[in-house]
Structure 1
Amino acid sequence: MDPVTPYDGCGLCLVGVRRLSRMTGVTSSPERQRDEILRAVDAVGGHVIAWADDWEVSGATDPRTRDGFGPWLLGKMGPYDGIAGSMVDRIGRNAEDVLRTARENHELGRKLVTGDHLGLWDLDDPNQEMELGYKALGAQQEHRAIRTRNRQEVKRARAAGEPHNKPSYGYKYKRLAPTTKVVGAILDHGDEDLGSSDAAGEIRNVKDRILADQTGKITVATEAARLTRAKVLSPNDQLRVNYGQEPLGTPWSNKSLKRILCSLAALGYLMHKGQPVLGPDGTPVKIGPALWNRATHDALVAKTAPKRSVKRAPKGVYRQSGNITCGNCGYTLVVSGSRGSKGAVWNRSYACTAKFRGLPGAEDCKPSPSINMAKADAELEQWFLPRFGAAEFVETVYDPGTGKKDRIAEAEANRKRLRDDRAAGLYDEPADAQWYRQTYARMTEELKELHAEPDHPAGWRKIRTGRTVASEWAAATDEVVRRELLESFGVTAVLRPSTVAHRYVISADPDTNLMSDELLAMWEDVVA
């Protein structure tokens, strides 16, 4: 625990300022900065009352906008007598920001202490003011040199076909030894010792669920919510755990999940700015095995594209969310509930609130029906399982096919790009011209082979599992999984007021293309 003492108004109650551009599990820089700050503060007779820590923050960031340091500079953290840093560059690596921060601190009568200066800084002394300016300018020049070297290394690695950014979700980098450079990527199936998730398996499961869905109710948004509920590590947390750090518990976001599903990185390509890096032969550079093929990638892009839909996927986590409607006005019932003395929700119900919300067509919805959730869910289960529970559960999967058309289009695009480069004069030298002819001939031969391959179109397939519908129901991890099972049979309910004899009516209208022969026979018996 970093030592602090309370503010006592002694005039040397200082805030310790620490910053790192990159935080790794093995770095000792936070401890080194702490020790240097404590030494410098002790040398001037002061003490540290708090730490303003900014990890994973660039030195070029304005100190006023930093999460740790900024609130102190803006007067939001209470009284203090000055700031202390291990070096001037921990305050910042932009000379203008450092000098402004130091000047504003001085004008407020506060002290400035850094480990690379003897005693307190006296900015009324021109020599010390000049010294601070030199140190700030040196930090800025060093920062720019680091950025230049980093850009040059990224360019070199990209040209050599080497990864230089963090791995895409579902992958982890392969090294010949722990401290050596990355030589490729492998699928990330998790590590029990570290506590990481089977990232490759999880994202493939998401892919299968989204592609197999024909109801429109399994979307990127519902899958992100499901992964969060199931406590699957988010991409950032997976990366942290793989590198020996504690997860932060960040939830999955729709945006990041869609980016993972639709990225060509899932084909094992080396990526730069969202696009595959092309090798000398004009084709994408591969650094690891593919999570799925190009046809599946194209199907995912099409399936997750924005669509206009009359009915959105339900956001609720209850068994009948979005699938129980009012018999008076036709609007979907919402979940309501009373709260106990400690704020816990109990006695949940499905209720129609359309009239209360002033929705058009609900003016005569009276009395507005409602039903206890536990009672309604129990009745639904008693209706569903006797009819379909004994049948074999058939899993529906999406077969992306061979993707022949898309593969041909990609190969033709690669060949056209090569031809355009030649037309622009890039391969006029004799040695380059020979390489161009060989590469163009190879691409043409690959196109001929693609055209000759048999084509297998995409579509849905039914797979017998040997499990019953009842066993799937019993094994469901939450009510959302049961709701998806009900939706695959088209199970819906209509609720009418209690004055009606048959107020709670359940029906099913499954897609018969997704049913086994056994289930189809059962369904026909139900209809009859």
Structure 2
Amino acid sequence: MAEIPRVLGAVRLSRVSDSTTSPARQREVVEQWSRFQQGELVHVAEDLDVSGAVSPFEREGLGPWLNDPAKMARWDVLVAWKLDRISRSALDTLMLLQWAEEHGKRIVAVADSLDSQSQMGRVWIQLAAIFAEVERTNTKERVLAARAHLRLTGKHAGGRPPYGYRSVADGTGNRVLEIDEEQSLILRGIVEDVLDGNSLGSIVSSLNGYGVPSPRSGEALKRGRKEWTVNGLRDLLRAQSLRGWSTYRGNPVLGPDGAPVKRGPELLDAATFQALQEELDRRKAELPERRATRSPRASLLLNVAFCECGGRLVAGVTGHGGRRYACIESRAVKPDRCRIVQTVNAGPLEDYARREFLAVMGSQPVVEVILTPGVDYSAEIREARSSLERLDEAFTAGAYEGDVDTFTTLRRGIRSRIDRLEAEPARPPTTEVRETGRTFAELWAVGSTADRRDLMLRAGFRVEVGPARGRGRYARIEERFTPVWGPPEQETFDDYIES
């Protein structure tokens, strides 16, 4: 080893906010040791927000100085404030000691008075590493137990709050969740759009178009990805935390009475959350074999125009920029795909639909239906039964972490909750029809594309399109169209929007 030691400093911090072992303090200790030994400080490798369980060879700051031959040749002594700043794993520490001995390197932990230069020093380093790993394991168990207790008592156990909430101090040293008004308005608007039949893709496009920050906006930007994604939005809408429940690994935490523990006000009530899950399930079940090309704008005749085969017509753009509709069944990858309406120009079809619809409905008054919600505990009963099933499955599989007495008490509480809910009387919802004072033609004149489409759907109006008759200038386009009147369309085909 050179007479003047060339020093490589190692600084590590699991949490940047930990002021007792701040990076500046650790660096200062390394610099003082280097000056006292009359050494040359080559570099200080910093790894912030890095667990002590991560191998020194894999750390972003220190790793290259242990793996790159060019950098390895520039230093002689690895110096850290304490040994646990280098590693908290006994195995990783032993591997580092062996590596240091093979490469003629020295390891020093200043505050622990440990130095691998002697045989006894290496022994003490190994013993200290074992104690550090034991302490890390004990700390992890204490943290997990503390978080489990916080979840069970309805407190925020740390980390990023669920979207729609913010974490606030409760005055007892703990934190609880309260509704974030701005995010909750966005979230409730998203839920309304989904229940109204808008596709997740169109909602994501709107959110990104308006620059609405996503739940993980900072991380998404670092990875160079869009703020909102369809998968991310779907996961958000599936989260049990929307009910204000305390959750663990995606499942609600149950209290002694068998009911989910509340850790904040609910963003969605039981009925709305259940309707949202059923809508997402329906879309998943009805996902066609081949999805149409998507665009953020829905067409005028979405769910209004149909092929003679019964398939819906979806809008698209031709290679020359023209707009057209095609039967979704003609796009299917199967031998018996529809060949009746492969394409039809959008302009004539939409003009025909407008004329036919307004000729019949234009002068008719538009009414609105006022719904007064009833009292129905069926959603809560389903949730309680689902909790009971998960509890029984975990106990049967040996995955339940509590003892038998706790399991029995918890199961009895859930069963009692189900009995109480089933005993509550239900009251059906009521509806009231009111006139708006405006006609269909008046609303059509001022409405958007989506508003006009909604008017046709509410009136039960459809256009059926048949095969082409004639070609070129001899084609009789409007002879392909037939107006159909019936009950309002209940099913929303939201997976296909204009390409």
The question of a shared fold, defined as TM-score above 0.5 by the shorter chain, is answered with yes
Does residue 176 of the first structure (1) align with residue 162 of the second (2)? no
Residues 91-147 of structure 1: CA deviation (Å, up to 9, x unaligned): 2211111221343245334554554367xx864521221232233223212212211
Greater relative CO (CA pairs within 8 A, separation 6+): 2
Do 1:396 and 1:514's aligned partners in 2 also have CA atoms closer than 8 Å?
no
- The counterpart of 1:132, out of the listed 99, 113, 125, is 125
> Can you give the 5+ residue segments of structure 1 that lack an aligned partner in the other structure?
1-9, 190-197, 241-245, 325-329, 339-346, 353-358, 516-528
Equivalent positions of 1:218-297 (< 5 A) are: 218-220=198-200, 222-224=202-204, 226-237=206-217, 251-297=227-273
Distance 1:287 1:146, change over 3 A: same
2:379 match: 406
AA aligned to 1:232 is V
Distance 1:158 1:20, change over 3 A: same
Distance 1:24 1:248, change over 3 A: farther
Distance 1:289 1:404, change over 3 A: same
Equivalent positions of 1:465-480 (< 5 A) are: 473=448
Distance 1:272 1:440, change over 3 A: closer
Shift of 1:413: 7.3
Alpha-carbon distance between aligned partners in 2 of 1:58 and 1:398, rounded to the nearest angstrom: 55
Alpha-carbon distance between aligned partners in 2 of 1:46 and 1:102, rounded to the nearest angstrom: 21
Does residue 454 of the first structure (1) align with residue 427 of the second (2)? yes
Alpha-carbon distance between aligned partners in 2 of 1:471 and 1:307, rounded to the nearest angstrom: 36
AA aligned to 1:280 is P
Do 2:88 and 2:136's aligned partners in 1 also have CA atoms closer than 8 Å?
yes
Alpha-carbon distance between aligned partners in 2 of 1:73 and 1:398, rounded to the nearest angstrom: 69
Does residue 187 of the first structure (1) align with residue 185 of the second (2)? no
The alignment partner of 1:93 has SS state of: coil
Residues 325-364 of structure 1: CA deviation (Å, up to 9, x unaligned): xxxxx998988999xxxxxxxx9999x9xxxxxx889xxx
AA aligned to 2:237 is L
Distance 1:447 1:46, change over 3 A: closer
- The counterpart of 1:163, out of the listed 156, 159, 166, is 156
Do 1:219 and 1:313's aligned partners in 2 also have CA atoms closer than 8 Å?
no
TM-score (norm 1): 0.59
Do 2:245 and 2:252's aligned partners in 1 also have CA atoms closer than 8 Å?
yes
Do 1:219 and 1:304's aligned partners in 2 also have CA atoms closer than 8 Å?
no
AA aligned to 2:421 is L
Distance 1:32 1:26, change over 3 A: closer
> Can you give the 5+ residue segments of structure 2 that lack an aligned partner in the other structure?
306-310, 327-332, 396-403, 491-499
1:53 match: 47
Alpha-carbon distance between aligned partners in 2 of 1:148 and 1:513, rounded to the nearest angstrom: 58
Alpha-carbon distance between aligned partners in 1 of 2:43 and 2:251, rounded to the nearest angstrom: 48
Equivalent positions of 1:30-179 (< 5 A) are: 30-42=23-35, 44-48=39-43, 51-55=45-49, 57-75=50-68, 81-82=74-75, 83-110=78-105, 112=107, 114-116=109-111, 123=116, 125-166=118-159, 167-177=161-171
The alignment partner of 2:237 has SS state of: helix
Do 1:393 and 1:465's aligned partners in 2 also have CA atoms closer than 8 Å?
yes
AA aligned to 1:294 is A
Do 1:276 and 1:284's aligned partners in 2 also have CA atoms closer than 8 Å?
yes
- The counterpart of 1:209, out of the listed 193, 213, 216, is 193
Do 2:205 and 2:296's aligned partners in 1 also have CA atoms closer than 8 Å?
no
Root mean square deviation of aligned Cα: 6.2
Residues 352-390 of structure 1: CA deviation (Å, up to 9, x unaligned): 9xxxxxx889xxx9xx99x9xxxx9x99999999999x9
The alignment partner of 1:173 has SS state of: strand
Shift of 1:291: 0.7
Q: How many residues align?
A: 441
Identity of aligned residues (%): 24
Do 2:5 and 2:40's aligned partners in 1 also have CA atoms closer than 8 Å?
no
The alignment partner of 1:235 has SS state of: coil
1:513 match: 488
AA aligned to 1:455 is P
AA aligned to 1:187 is I
Distance 1:436 1:107, change over 3 A: closer
Shift of 1:265: 1.9
Distance 1:65 1:45, change over 3 A: closer
Shift of 1:74: 4.0
Residues 302-327 of structure 1: CA deviation (Å, up to 9, x unaligned): 22233242266656446579989xxx
Do 2:11 and 2:47's aligned partners in 1 also have CA atoms closer than 8 Å?
yes
